[in-house]
Every structure is written in structure tokens, then in C-alpha cells.
Amino acid sequence: MESAAELVEALQSDVGEIEVRGTLSGMPMITLAPGVRLRGGTLRFGAKGLRLTSDNEVEGVTVLTADEEVAILNDTSATDLGTLTLRDVRTSGQVLLLADDSVRAGHVLVDGLKVDRADVRGRVERPGAFGVEALQGAFTLWNRQPDPDVVVTAELRDIAAGSVDAPIRGSGVFVGGHRVSGVTGGTVRVSSLRTGEIHSDGGIAPGTPDLISGGVFVISGAVVEEVVNSGPVTTNGQNDMVLDNWGEVTNWTATAPVTSHGPSGIGFVNFGEIDRLDVQAAIETFGTGARGFNLYDGSLRHASFGSIATHGDGSVGVQVSKPLPILEISGDLTTEGGEGQSLVKGVQVSLKAIALSIKPGAEVGSISVGGQVRTAGDNVITVEIDGDVGEIAIAGGVVTTGNNSDAIDTRDNVPGLDKVSIDTANGQDIVRTA
């Protein structure tokens, strides 16, 4: 096809495969009939773009819409998606695939997708939990059916979104199912979710307590065997989580930097269930209340990190509130700030930039740090142990450089703590709390 008229004519015929050459413009939203394959070319739309039905394959196609529009979507009057395939696809505008209305089954295969630009802040439909709602993503796969018998499966490889100069306005990658008031309905079962470079900025107003976004977001109702962040993931705005889990993940691995530049962001936060978390590269946050790693809720068996550094007031390095058998950091764990405001479960609260905080209710089997645990802020604690810790080893020691800041505050004699070197500039080495 070399003209919009030819493409429209082909779509109205029984052609099973359509190849586009060059750039076609001036079309209304187009729909691929069941089984139709579309290859090549650039399609430019003024409003919504390309709508899929069932068993469609889109390969080597660029779809351009306004940032606020949907570039690729699906017809929710189809009862079964069959297999929808996106291969080497590029868009300007959101890719939104829903199990809603009549859709009760289907499989989604993505093998190479880049969403250059998208603005999803105006979407009314948002999942809610833990006192907040979450913005949709530039790529969104969402099973909204309340019936738990409705299952959509997926294999999602090499999804990238945004850029340094044009971050996604909203979340980057969003995969989720249906869950309301703790009751799970339809699910999305994903064998693999692999992401490339992600840049996002939710554009959330400062001080907002009940709205968040994420660079890569696994929402409640998603069951994922493997998440791999093979490219850097960077968020830039207020309440922007870099990596966030509300769902169920067997293995989550990040091999590239995880970075937050906004207030109340978090490098990695877990409210769901994860067996193994392995962040091999650095987590680094910049901004008031922007924390490194939080285990707020749910379960996590084994968490390991390369290094974690925060640079703002109220920016805790690691905070654990639930059982965690193994916590490992191969490099340093450092914070630079003092006290500041941060978003916690839908409420803005005052936090101090503690490097390592084990809260009441946490049961940590072992803590191992290969480098230093260090704070630079005034009136903070470097290591706070209010929960249960089986053993601790900090090879580089605990270093506290701020004024009136204590190195270690603990209520128990934790095995291994007596072997940790302590360097305190202006405060106490160890405070024993009843």
C-alpha cells in the first residue's frame, strides 16, 4: 500500500496480509479484521490509531498519534484476542491492550516495542491500592474483568519508553489485573517481562498524597514469572516509583541503573509477592523523601543489590517492614540528607534519612553489606534496628559524619554487630533501646 485510500480498500477486503510502503496520513482510526497481518511503513493519525481484534500481527510498523492519544489499542467487543503480536513496532502515543467488555481470553506477544512519546495523565481508569491510585503506562496491558476465570497470558520482550528529552508523562510500562478492595478478579499471567531504556515523569503536583506513577509497574492481579530490566529505568517527577510491585513475581532482575530524580520517589518498592529480587546495578535517588528500597508489605524471600545511595532529606536508604530472610548489598549503602517529608501509603509524613531501617514487625534472617553503611545528615541514625535480625555483617563498617547523629540504634544484641567497625563524628556509636 502506498496511499491511505489503498490501505482503506485493503482493510475492507478479505486480504490476509497488508504491507505498507512509506508514510500514510489522513486516515481515521483503522481496524484490522481477525487474522490480518500488517507490515512495514509509517501510519500517521490525527486521533486514535490502529485497532486490533484477534490473531493480528503487526511487524516493522511505526504508528504516530498525538501524545495524549492511543496509538495501538484493541477492540473489546471481541470475546477472544487469540494471539496479538507486536514485533519491531514504534509508536508516538500509548499502546493500550485491555481485557474489558466482551474480552475473556487471549495471548499478547511483544518482541520489540518503543513508545517514543505518550501522555496518559488524563486517563480516568486507574487501579487503586495502599491509599493511592496509579497512572497508566505508555505500554499498558490490563485485565479489567472482575471474573477470576478470565485469564490473559503474555510474553513481553524488549519494551522501551520515553527518552531523556521526552520522558513519558505517566508510567512507563504497566501490567496488571483486576483487584478491588483486596478481591482479585481477572489476571494477567506473564512468562517474561523484559524492558529496555525507560524514562518517565508522572507530572504529579507537589504534595499530592494519593497519586503515583512508576517506571516499570507490576499491578495487582499480574502474575509474572520473570521481570528483567536490561536497560536503565529513570523517573523524574513527584511520587514516581522507579520499579514498583503490587503483583506476584517469581524473579525480578535489574542489570542497569535504577534512578529517581523526583520527591517521594522510590528506587524499588514492594507491596506484593516476590521470591527473588536481584538489582545488580546502582539504585540512586535525588529529591526530598526519595528512598532507595522499601519492603512495605507482601512477601520477599531474597533481596540483593549492587549499591544504594539517596541524596535528599527524608530519603531512607533501605527500609524493611515485613519478613525478609536474606538482604544483601555488595557495595555501599549511603544517605546524605536529614529530615524531610515523604509519601508513605497515601500520607505525607516526616522521615529522617536513615541508611538502614529495620522496622517493628520485620524479621530479617541475615544482613550482609560488602561496603560501608554511611550517613552524612545531621540528627539521623545510620543503622536502626527495631525489628528482629538473625545476623549482620558490614564489611566496610558504619560511618556517621553528621552532627548529633548516632551510628547504631538497636534494641537487641544482634549477632555480628560486635564485629562491625564504627566511625562516628559527633554522636554515639551504639544506642541500646529498651
Task: Show the 3-state SS of 17-76.
Answer: EEECCCEEEEECCEECCCCCEEECCEEEECCCCEEECCCCEEECCEEECCCCCEEEEECC
Of 433, 398, 400, 403, the residue nearest 419 (C-alpha): 398
Measured CA to CA in angstroms, residue 270 lies from 197, 239, 366 at distances of: 21, 15, 19
pLDDT along the chain (434 residues), means of 10: 77 87 91 97 96 98 98 97 98 98 98 98 92 96 97 98 98 94 89 98 92 97 98 97 97 98 95 97 95 94 98 95 97 93 72 93 96 97 96 97 94 91 93 74
Cβ neighbourhood burial of 237 (10 Å; 0-12, 13-18, 19+): buried
DSSP assignments along 157-194, one per residue: EEEEE--SSS-BBSEEEEEE--EETTEE-SEEEEEEEE
Cβ neighbourhood burial of 331 (10 Å; 0-12, 13-18, 19+): middle
Place of cell 504529579: 204
For strands 398-403 and 373-375, give the pairing.
parallel
**Burial readout 296-307 (b: 16 or more C-beta within 10 A, e: otherwise):** bbeebebbbbbb
Q: Which residues are registered as beta bridge partners of 414?
A: none
Tell me how far apart the alpha carbons of residues 239 and 215 are, in angstroms, rounded to a whole number: 11
Q: What is the DSSP letter of 418?
A: G
User: What pTM does this model have?
Assistant: 0.96
**Radius of gyration of the chain, Cα coordinates, nearest whole angstrom:** 23
Domain boundaries, the chain: 271-434
204: helix, strand or coil: coil
What pLDDT, on the 0 to 100 scale, is given for residue 282? 98
Cβ atoms of residues 91 and 115 within 8 Å: yes
Tell me how far apart the alpha carbons of residues 15 and 29 are, in angstroms, rounded to a whole number: 18
Q: What are phi and psi of 185, to 5 degrees?
A: -105, -125
Q: What are phi and psi of 96, to 5 degrees?
A: -125, 110
